[in-house]
Amino acid sequence: MNAENNGRGAEPLLQVENISLSFGGLKALDSVSLEVRKGEVLGIIGPNGAGKTSMLNVINGVYHPQEGRILFEGKDRTTMRPHEVAASGVARTFQNVGLFKAMTTLDNLLAGRNLFMKKNILLQAIYFGPAQREEIRQREKVEEIIDFLEIQNLRRLPVGALPYGLQKRVELGRALAQEPKLLLLDEPMAGMNMEEKQDMCRFIIDTNEQLGTTIALIEHDMAVVMDICDRIIVLDHGAKIAEGSPDEVRNNPEVIRAYLGDE
């Protein structure tokens, strides 16, 4: 990452303040605070059960915390539901691909444009006049994403027939179709081979640098995290134990003990 986009000193896009989340007697998050700064790639790491996915679920409205608050662009949206969070400018991918497997790549990407469909359902059903012009506009945007992700030859193929790595790329495309200000990626490299990981890294960096999208990602591949992230947050047993640049986190004794392992 270049020095102008390392996240330091940038205005916060998202602020998570003293969030606590419990399920019965299990405390998934314990008074965790963090911020995602405009224009950065933030990594969230930690061992299994550390609370990483719970944090993403809180950010995008799947869970509502018992304590604390969430600010997005300075506005409190702690109790927003997922569709409201999406409408505010937050998109997400999942650890397990959540595509419509029987639908084509093109149709899956068009599904990501649903937020921008303004005409009423009757006009859409008869595909006439304003509805027709609207769909043309949405298809033009989707074609831009197809070109950006280099999946032109997958346009008409059902995504269920694609290799797993390409399905993950299509899911990234569907999230980008929402034109997010903040993109949440839950283990985008999971299940990929080395070549697929290299491709995904390139597209994540391009999304950040060329499209200007702020990104927060969970990832277990430490080589990937250290290479593409500007800052890293480390969680362990629901608490934040470290925060800093890749070099600072890599050399933090508590992180080494909790996650990276002693030599």
For residues 158 and 139, give the distance between their C-alpha atoms in angstroms, rounded to a whole number.
17
Of 155, 179, 203, the last residue of a domain is 179
Q: Three-class SS of residue 216? A: strand
**Is residue 168 domain-shared with residue 199, that is, in the same domain?**
no
Of 146, 163, 179, the last residue of a domain is 179
**Is residue 2 domain-shared with residue 85, that is, in the same domain?**
yes
pLDDT of residue 24: 86
- Region 37-64 average pLDDT: 94
pLDDT digits (tens, 9 = 90+) for 126-151: 555 565 666 777 888 899 999 999 99
Flag whether 230 is in a domain. Answer: yes
Flag whether 132 is in a domain. Answer: yes
Which tokens is 4 given? 């102008």
Q: Categorize the per-residue pLDDT at 256 as very low, low, confident or very high, splitting at 50, 70 and 90.
A: confident
For residues 236 and 240, give the distance between their C-alpha atoms in angstroms, rounded to a whole number.
6
**Is residue 7 domain-shared with residue 135, that is, in the same domain?**
no
Query: pTM of the entire structure?
Result: 0.87
pLDDT digits (tens, 9 = 90+) for 87-126: 999 999 987 777 888 899 999 998 888 776 654 444 444 5
Flag whether 96 is in a domain. Answer: no
Give every CB contact of residue 66 below 8 A, 6+ residues apart in sequence.
20, 21, 22
Q: What's phi and psi for 27, nearest 5 deg?
A: -95, 105
Tokens 């593409």 found at = 228
For residues 17 and 92, give the distance between their C-alpha atoms in angstroms, rounded to a whole number.
21
What does the buried/exposed string (b/e) look like for 188-207 if buried means 16 or more CB atoms within 10 Å of the residue's CB?
Answer: bbbebeeebbebbbebbeeb
